[in-house]
Structure 1
Amino acid sequence: MNRSKKLISNSIIFTVGNLGSKFISFFMVPLYTYFMSTTQFGQVDLVITTVNLFLPVVSLSMFDAVFRFVMDKNEDSSQTLTSGICVTIMISLLLFCFYPLLRLMHISFLAYFVLILVITSLFTLIQNFARGNGNSVVYAVAGIIDAISFATLNVLFLVFLHLNVQGYLLSYLIAMFISLIYVSFSIKIWNYFSLTSFSLSLVKRMLCYSLPLIPNSLAWWLTNDANRYIILTFVGMGGNGLYAVANKIPTILNMLFNVFTQAWQISAVDEFRSQDSEEYYSSIFNKLQGLLFLLVGVFIIIIKPFMKIFVSSLYYGAWKYVPLLLLMSVFSNMSAFLGTTYLAAKKTNGIFSTTIVGMLVNLIVSLLVTMKLEIYGTCIGGTLGFLAVIVMRLIDLRKILRIKMNYTTFLVSVVGWAFMYLGLFLPFTLNYILEIFGLGLIVIINKKVVLSLVTNIKISLNYITRKFL
Structure 2
Amino acid sequence: MNKYKKLINNSIIFAIGNLGSKFLQFILVPLYSFTLSTSDFGTADFLTQLVYLLTPIVSLELYDAAFRYALDKAENKFVLFNTVNTILLGVSLLVFFVTPFLATIFYNYHIFITAIFLVANVYFSFLSNFVRAIGYVKQFAVSGIVNAFFMGTFSVVLLVFFKLGLRGYLISFSIGLIAGCIYVVLSTGLGRFFRFNSFNKLKLIGMLKYSLPLIPNYFAWWLNSSSDRLFIITMIGASANGIYAMATKIPNLINLLTMIFSQSWQISIVEEYKNKNSKRFVSNVFISFFSILVIGGILIVISIKPIYGLVLDKSYYQGWKLTPLLVLAVIYSGLSILLEGVYIAYKKTFSVLITTIVGAIINVLLTILLIPVMRVYGAALANTISFLVVAMMRMIEIKKLGLLALDMKRILMYHLAFFFVTFITFNEKSVFITMFIGILTVGVLILLDKNIIRQMEVILHKKINKS
TM-score by length of 2: 0.94
* Alignment CA distance shift 1:16-1:431 (3 Å): closer
Tell me if structure 2 keeps the 8 A contact 1:422–1:434: no
Equivalent in the alignment of 1:448: 450
Instruction: Report the CA distance between 1:101 and its aligned residue.
Output: 3.5
Deviation of 1:455 after TM superposition, in Å, equals: 5.8
Could you report, residue by residue, the CA deviation over 1:110-156 in whole angstroms, capped at 9, with x for unpaired residues? 11111111111111101001100000011011111111111111111
Does structure 1 retain, via aligned residues, the 8 Å contact 2:343–2:352?
yes
Name which of structure 1's ranges 25-34 and 188-197 shifts more when overlaid on structure 2: 188-197
Instruction: Answer whether contact 1:290 1:449 (CA < 8 A) is retained.
Output: no
Q: Secondary structure at the match of 1:98?
A: helix
Q: Which residue of 2 aligns with 1:291?
A: 292
Aligned mates of 1:408, 1:265 — CA distance in 2: 27
Task: Give the counterpart letter for 2:241 in structure 1.
Answer: N
Measure how far apart 1:428 and its partner are: 2.7
CA deviations on 1:5-61 (whole Å, 9 max, x unpaired) are 100000001111110111110111011111111111111101110001111000001
Distance 1:456 1:77, change over 3 A: farther
The equivalences for 1:202-241 within 5 A come to 202-241=203-242
Whether the 8 Å contact between 1:20 and 1:144 is mirrored in structure 2 is: yes
3-state DSSP class of the match of 2:251? helix
The number of equivalent residue pairs is 464
The equivalences for 1:327-406 within 5 A come to 327-398=328-399, 400-406=401-407
Q: Which runs of 4+ in 1 moved over 3 A?
A: 398-401, 429-435, 448-462
Q: Which residue of 1 aligns with 2:52?
A: 52
What amino acid does structure 2 have at the position aligned with 1:156? Answer: V
1:255–1:430: structure 2 CA closer, same or farther, 3 Å change rule? closer
Per-residue CA distance 1:146-188 (angstroms, 9 max, x = gap): 1111111111111111111111111111111111111011221
User: Which residue number corresponds to residue 90 of structure 1?
Assistant: 90
2:65/2:207 contact within 8 Å kept: yes
Residue 56 of structure 2 corresponds to residue 62 of structure 1:
no
Question: Secondary structure of the residue that 2:427 maps to in structure 1?
Answer: coil
Q: CA deviation at 1:408?
A: 1.9
- Could you tell me which residue of structure 1 aligns to residue 75 of structure 2? 75
CA shift, 1:424, in A, is: 2.2
Q: 1:273-298: CA deviations, max 9, x gaps?
A: 01010111011000000110001111
Question: What residue is the counterpart of 1:148 in the other structure?
Answer: 149
Using the TM superposition, give the Cα deviation of residue 405 of structure 1 relative to its aligned residue in structure 2, in angstroms. Answer: 2.1
In structure 1, the residue corresponding to 2:219 is in which secondary structure? Answer: helix
Aligned twin of 2:170: 169
**Kept after mapping to 2: 8 A contact 1:350/1:396:** no
**1:431, distance to aligned residue in structure 2 (A):** 9.0
Match of 1:181 in 2: 182
Q: Deviations over 1:282-340 (max 9, x none)?
A: 11000000110001111111110111111011111111111110110000000111111
CA distance in 2, matches of 1:233, 1:213: 28
Distance 2:76 2:311 in 1: 49
Q: Kindly tell me: are residues 91 and 382 of structure 1, through their superposed partners in 2, closer, same or farther at Cα, counting changes over 3 Å?
A: same
Contact 1:354 1:393 in 2 (8 A): yes
Q: CA contact under 8 A between 2:298 and 2:438: conserved in structure 1? A: no
Partners of 1:17 and 1:438 in 2: CA distance: 28
Q: Which runs of 5+ in 1 are unaligned?
A: none
Q: Distance in 1 between matches of 2:431 and 2:14?
A: 40
- Aligned equivalents of 1:412 and 1:261: distance in 2? 24
**Unmatched segments (≥5 aa) in structure 2:** none
Residue matched to 1:99: 99
Deviates most, 426-435 or 361-370:
426-435
SS at match of 2:426: coil
What residue is the counterpart of 2:277 in the other structure?
A: 276
Q: Is the 8 A contact 1:7 1:264 kept in 2?
A: yes
**Residues 416 and 437 of structure 1 are in contact (CA less than 8 Å); yes or no, is this contact kept in structure 2?**
no
Question: 1:323 corresponds to which residue?
Answer: 324
What's the secondary structure of 1:18's corresponding residue?
helix
Work out the percentage of aligned pairs sharing the same amino acid.
Answer: 35
| Matches of 1:397 and 1:362, distance apart in 2 | 23
Partner of 2:217, secondary structure, is helix
1:19 corresponds to which residue? 19
Letter in 1 for 2:253: I
Match for 1:309: what amino acid? L
Does structure 1 conserve the Cα–Cα contact (< 8 Å) formed by 2:302 and 2:435? no
How many angstroms does 1:383 deviate by?
0.4
Partner of 2:30: 30
Greater Cα offset, 201-210 or 421-430:
421-430
Normalised to the residue count of structure 1, the TM-score between the two structures is 0.94
Counterpart AA for 1:284: V
| Alpha-carbon distance change, 420 to 226 in structure 1, aligned in 2, over 3 angstroms | same
| Post-superposition offset of 1:235 | 1.9
Whole-Å Cα distance in 2 between the matches of residues 329 and 446 of structure 1? Answer: 24
